[in-house]
Structure 1
């Protein structure tokens, strides 16, 4: 959460904060079941059994609701991931902890993951570009930094760090997309297979 966001949170009353959270949770449930095009302030209000005016008192636009939904989910995800990444030893350990803890977090929050996926695939900013590209780029940049340190320490083999970081993010997303399409998918088994694949792909071969 940014300093600006944190300041806004402090200025809100407990009741206002709780109502905003309730609206965001309802938006996630509507988005997960109705899809992006089927989600509107009116549909969210109907889901909660309140008037549209109650929602627009807290959020001026649908865009504000969706941004808060996604950014809050990202923040909570990182709060779950950060201790695992920090505790891991070496670049290999940190990369595997990053991917593994991220998949674990998403698996525990299926509805919000489905909603976030819908938003990220369809929502566009004022410039017409897909929203949240900056947040995705930050993830690739952070993973690239871990890879560079691992290469400098002789732990990882030589390859372009940003290319591989991008592939790690995309393959993780592919596993999650399979699970999103079919809830019967054994996400735990697929996660284990992915982690094994990543480890073999990045590790430096022993002489």
Structure 2
């Protein structure tokens, strides 16, 4: 338990350091200084900076999933789940700016042994699969119209990523309203329209 607490402290210090000084300015020594420990303590818990960054990503994604998933699962319709996902991601982001800035630094810079981005497009595959399954369920129930669920899943995630990136650059931007606008756009684009049904919200 003590080791878990120490690892969490190091990861939190890494998050704040990446968010403050960026990828190029972040070193194990600087993270250790922020955490009030020696660099050797970090080396005891992590094999190196790369492993620390990977654990940082894992931790933040677990936090996001733990925040978003329950809110999505409370909804009984595909459109409701999509709206809940957009809303809850925006809500999480508002309260965790440092985490999102740190993720961006890692995603845009960490490379593998082949000099390819460690967190490239394929990193989102589990998200695509989950979203695609939800959309297909909505199509099977007749709630949603016929469309390519994979294309829509990729498009939704791209819209979320763009929303977060824009808010990162313009923190005064109303990200909650942005999420509602996206939800309206997607809902009007994916739901099945029946005779006599209005097409606008």
- What's the TM-score once normalised by structure 2's chain length? 0.91
CA positional deviation for 1:95: 1.6
Q: Which residue of 1 aligns with 2:35?
A: 48
Q: Which residue of 1 aligns with 2:199?
A: none
Q: Which residue of 2 aligns with 1:19?
A: 6
**1:116 counterpart = 2:106:** no
In 2, Cα distance between equivalents of 1:57 and 1:112: 24
Q: Which residue of 1 aligns with 2:186?
A: 198
In 2, Cα distance between equivalents of 1:167 and 1:16: 40
In 2, Cα distance between equivalents of 1:169 and 1:155: 21
Q: Deviations over 1:104-126 (max 9, x none)?
A: 11221110111012111221223
2:7–2:45 contact (8 Å) kept in structure 1? yes
Structure 1: any 5+ residue segments left out of the alignment?
1-13
In 1, Cα distance between equivalents of 2:177 and 2:125: 28
In 2, Cα distance between equivalents of 1:124 and 1:205: 46
Q: Deviations over 1:18-60 (max 9, x none)?
A: 1111110010011011111211111211222322111111111
2:86–2:180 contact (8 Å) kept in structure 1? no
- What's the TM-score once normalised by structure 1's chain length? 0.88
In 1, Cα distance between equivalents of 2:144 and 2:111: 37
2:67–2:92 contact (8 Å) kept in structure 1? yes
Q: Which residue of 1 aligns with 2:127?
A: 139
Number of residue pairs the alignment of both structures matches: 194
Regions of 4+ moved over 4 Å: none
2:135–2:149 contact (8 Å) kept in structure 1? yes
Structure 2: any 5+ residue segments left out of the alignment?
196-201
Residue in structure 2 matching 1:32, options 19, 37, 44: 19
RMSD value, Cα: 1.4
**1:66 counterpart = 2:39:** no
Equivalent residue of 1:50, what SS?
coil
In 2, Cα distance between equivalents of 1:94 and 1:75: 19
Q: Which residue of 2 aligns with 1:96?
A: 83
Q: Which residue of 1 aligns with 2:145?
A: 157
